[in-house]
Each structure stands twice: as C-alpha cells, then as structure tokens.
Structure 1
Amino acid sequence: MGNDASNGVSEGDLEQNDGQQFGRLPATAAERTVEGRASREAVVDYFADRFGIAPETFDDHTFWEKGAGKIWVYGGSAPSPVEIEALGMTCLRTRQEHWKPTTDFVQRFGREADECVIELEPDEARAFAAGEDRDLERWDGDWGYLIAAHDVAGELEPIGVGLYVHGELRSMVPKGRQREL
C-alpha cells in the first residue's frame, strides 16, 4: 500500500484490522484508516468491472470488513465499529491475490450480472450444484471467478461461484451447500 499522498497517511500510521469487530469500509482509498482494508469504491467497481453489476444496485447497502478481508454487505447502515457476530451477509474475500465473491452474494445479486456469467445445461448444473468440476471448453470469456447459472422457467438463476481455468469450470459451492439434484 505504501504512502497514500491523497490523505497524508503513511502505512505506519494506519490502524490494524480488529478481526473481532465489523468496521465499515471507507468510501475511497483516500479515506482508509485501517491498513489493507478495501474501500467501498473498490468493491463496487470490482462488481461492476467483473460482473457488470450496476453500481446503483448497492446504493442502499453498506460494506463492512470483519476478519482479514472478509467483506459483508448490509442493506442499511449501522454505527462503526460494531462488535456483533453477523451483519448482513458475506459477499467477498479481498485480502488475497484474486478477490472471490461468495455463493451467498452470487445467489442474491447474480441476477443483476451481465458479464462473466456462464449458463449451464441441466446435467452441468446438477454436477455443479453437487460440487463437481467439469471440462467446459465453450467459455470464451475471461478466466477466473464466474457466476454459474441455469435456466429455470425462462429465467437465468445463479447457482454459485465457479472458477474457470484451462477449459475447466471448478465448482466453488461449499461442501455444506452441495446438493444432488
């Protein structure tokens, strides 16, 4: 991160993250007071750039960090910091090389996406929901995290997060949420 000339705060002057409380994300990087914390602007831009989800989708939501890079989205506002067990739902993991959206986020907001969404055939969707990885050479978009979806009654419904690399779609559906359909 280094020096942030826009607010005159150096890395050594920033607070450390407290993994036991929720801290609201700053609006921009220039307003950051906690070392390594993502900004609201960066999170909203990520969802817009990667998945085509309009920034206005989150106008009535706040973003929070609890733990190291576990970002939560909350439909409302609350005082910050706050020491509670949960606030809204987890939506993103950020303190790693590649940011990863959560299954909960994709199932709640994935209908708003118009990029990096892969539509699965019935047998592919069943395998994905069961946690199975599949060769899928037909994807011609970016590698990385995708929203795996399936047509249900004429509507594309998000199933979860997949990781697409080397012609393979890897199911990121958590073990406890995997289902044989």
Structure 2
Amino acid sequence: MSDPETDDTGEGSESDEENLRDNVGQRFGRLPATSADREVKGRASREEVVEFFNERFGIEPAVFEDFSFWEKGKGKIWIFAADNPSPVRIEGLGMTVLRTRQEHWKPTHSAVQRFGRHATKNVIDLSPEQAATFARGEDQDLPEWDGDWGYLIAAHELAGEREPVGVALYVYDELRSTVPKGNQEALSVL
C-alpha cells in the first residue's frame, strides 16, 4: 500500500513538500523550534508554547525539556514524551496541552492536572468547598481574588500538597469552571 504523501520511490515530490507547509486537520505537524523556523502559517512555535506556560503560570521551561510539541487541526497543540518523524497521520499523539489560534491561548484540563503543580503564579487556591463546587463544573462568585483575570489554574490542598483541579476562567469577580463534562465529579468535603 502506497503512502499518499510520497511518490512511488518513497521520496516526497515537490508538491508534497509544499503540502507539508499547510495545516492539515488529520495530520500532526511538529511545532517549529522558533517563529523564525515557522513554515505553516499561524502555527505556534515550541519557544512560544514554553514561553506561554512560563509567563502565564511560572512553569519553568526545563519542565518541558524532554517533550515534543505537535499541532493537529487548527490550534490544538499536543505534547508527546518522545519523538516522531514529522508529519505523521495518526489519531492521537500524547495529550492535548493547549488551544492556540484564538485571542487567548487556553491550556487544557489534562495539561493543568499534569503540569500545574509546577506553577508559581496565576494559581487560585480553593477551599475544600470551593474546590468541590469547581470540580462539579459550577461557577462561583469569588471577589476576594486580587490576581490576574483570564485563565487560571484552580488548585486546592490535598495531603499537604497543592493539587491542581483544572482550568478556571476568572472574570468580573466570578470563577468559571471549565472542567469538561466528562471530567466533572462530586468530591466529598471533610
């Protein structure tokens, strides 16, 4: 069976190389190292993604050192704990980590749960009751937050450690839960 991205010799044709510069919804393309290396219009670079997590949440770039970043579709960024040739046509590769190509970049619920414990800023610490409300997917008034508006990491203390619960959107004194329906749960409050 022939690979549609190569000619009969297994080599890519010139038009195939041009197609690799396009964003294709069913194909993963590795993020370029820097914006100067960008070949696909609008695609974020690895440097921009790592910088976003560092600037917004204080997550050090070293946390992402052993990971590669990929885009599939328009702005859905995936993180993978290994390497692969690029591009690659598969259904999934690692986990989604970030949504770009919109006005405000949004980290995913999974990314916050996996990497949020490294965050040093824009983390809102919730009481057990507030965390339970958040985990159920419910919004709540929280005028006491005096930090940045926008996407935050919602966290609470569990066994003496700060544990990320998910992504929150904070606007106009309200903490909005963005916990996906499939991840919402009823937590018991002791």
Same-fold call, TM cutoff 0.5: yes
Residue 26 of structure 1 aligns to a residue whose secondary structure is: coil
Task: Supply the RMSD in Å over aligned alpha carbons.
Answer: 1.2
Residue 39 of structure 2 aligns to a residue whose secondary structure is: coil
Shift of 1:49: 0.0
Match of 1:33 among 28, 39, 43: 39
Aligned residue in 2 for 1:9:
none
Aligned residue in 1 for 2:167:
161
Aligned residue in 2 for 1:134:
140
1:175 to 2:188 alignment: no
Shift of 1:15: 2.8
The amino acid of 1:51's aligned partner reads F
Shift of 1:142: 0.7
Match of 2:88 among 82, 92, 98: 82
Residue 73 of structure 1 aligns to a residue whose secondary structure is: strand
Aligned residue in 2 for 1:10:
none
Q: In the aligned structure 2, how far is the partner of 1:84 from the partner of 1:26? A: 19
Match of 1:20 among 16, 26, 30: 26
Q: Deviations over 1:56-82 (max 9, x none)?
A: 111100000001000001111111000
Aligned residue in 2 for 1:91:
97
Q: In the aligned structure 2, how far is the partner of 1:143 from the partner of 1:150? A: 19
Aligned residue in 2 for 1:110:
116
Aligned residue in 1 for 2:129:
123
TM-score, scaled to structure 2: 0.87
Structure 2 spans left out of the alignment, 5+ residues: 1-19
Match of 2:54 among 48, 60, 66: 48
Q: In the aligned structure 2, how far is the partner of 1:139 from the partner of 1:15? A: 44
Shift of 1:16: 2.2
Structure 1 spans left out of the alignment, 5+ residues: 1-13
TM-score, scaled to structure 1: 0.91
Q: In the aligned structure 1, how far is the partner of 2:107 from the partner of 2:63? A: 16
The amino acid of 1:103's aligned partner reads H
The amino acid of 1:68's aligned partner reads K
- Determine which structure has more spread, i.e. the larger CA radius of gyration: 2
Q: In the aligned structure 2, how far is the partner of 1:77 from the partner of 1:111? A: 24
Q: How many percent of aligned residue pairs carry the same amino acid?
A: 66
Runs of 4+ in 1 over 6 A off after TM superposition: none
The amino acid of 1:61's aligned partner reads F
